[in-house]
Amino acid sequence: MSRAIRWAILVVAFSGMSSAGLGQEACGEWRQIRACDGIIGYARANPRSPVNEAKATGVVDAPVAVLEAVVRDIPAETQWMFMCSKAYKIDSPDLAASADSYYSYFRQGLPWPVSDRFAIMKHELSLDRASGTLTLRGKGIQNAAVPAQERGGMRLPLVEVSCIMKPIAENKTEVTYQILADVGGSLPTPVLQMLTKSLAVDTIKNVRRMVRKEPYRSARGVVTTHLTADARQ
């Protein structure tokens, strides 16, 4: 049975359940929910969303520069971001961008009967010069205009992503990918919690495949110049 069919069955089965009534408690403790090919997946409750926050950590056999080349290639997100069906950089006079801070349109293609979700994302890259650790942070911008050519779908009311790429040996990088999202609408929370098990872990698995491709694997130096210390200010 395909993933799309399983998704549709689960949505119908849980269609009468509600995600309303979020508590105001603090974030829960991280708990391990999956282990696959050396990648460990975690989840925790977060009062900002009815969906568990997800995180995964794993080692990728590539230097930070190669990983940077992957995450900077916005259209390539369709090959490694979870269920991404479309992604492209947005150049607009209304959105102040730089080499290390830029914007994109991101669309998540979801199977019938669920509407696609989309976001206008702000990406910020920063480098810790002492450790060589590169950090990518992404956040959905709610008041940013949607490109005129885009039709349909539901805007994600909340999406925040971080990807920390820490060199641990020559040609080896520890990657920690974390995401907090609220997909909005009436999509049943139990279905989303099931998907949480796959989201972060599968993203790192996909990145492992991407670093073996050109032009990424030929990247030789990190181009990010914005320093992590500056990003904290």
What pLDDT shows up at residue 16? 37
What pLDDT shows up at residue 112? 76
Q: Amino acid identity, residue 137?
A: R
Q: Can you tell me the distance from the alpha carbon of 181 to that of 139, in angstroms, rounded to the nearest whole number?
A: 10
**Average pLDDT, integer, range 155-172:** 97
Query: For 178, phi and psi rounded to 5 degrees?
Result: -135, 140
Superfamily of domain 29-231 in CATH is: START domain (3.30.530.20)
Written as one string, the DSSP assignment of 171-196 is TEEEEEEEEEEE--TT--HHHHHHHH
Ranges of each domain in the chain? 29-231
pLDDT in tens, 48-65: 998 899 999 999 999 999
Residue 23 CB partners (closer than 8 Å, separation 6+): 47
Q: How far apart are the first and last CA of the chain?
A: 50
Nearest to 177 by CA among 56, 64, 37: 56
**Average pLDDT, integer, range 156-171:** 97
What pLDDT shows up at residue 228? 85
What the block records as the tokens of 210 is 């991407």
pLDDT in tens, 166-221: 999 999 999 999 999 998 877 666 667 677 788 999 999 999 999 999 999 999 99
**Choice between 17 and 148, residue whose per-residue pLDDT is larger:** 148
What pLDDT shows up at residue 7? 46
pLDDT in tens, 17-50: 334 444 457 999 999 999 999 999 999 999 999 8
What pLDDT shows up at residue 3? 52
**Choice between 80 and 9, residue whose per-residue pLDDT is larger:** 80
What pLDDT shows up at residue 197? 83
pLDDT in tens, 78-127: 999 988 999 999 998 889 899 999 999 999 998 777 889 999 999 999 99
Written as one string, the DSSP assignment of 40-69 is EEEEE--TT-SSPEEEEEEEESS-HHHHHH
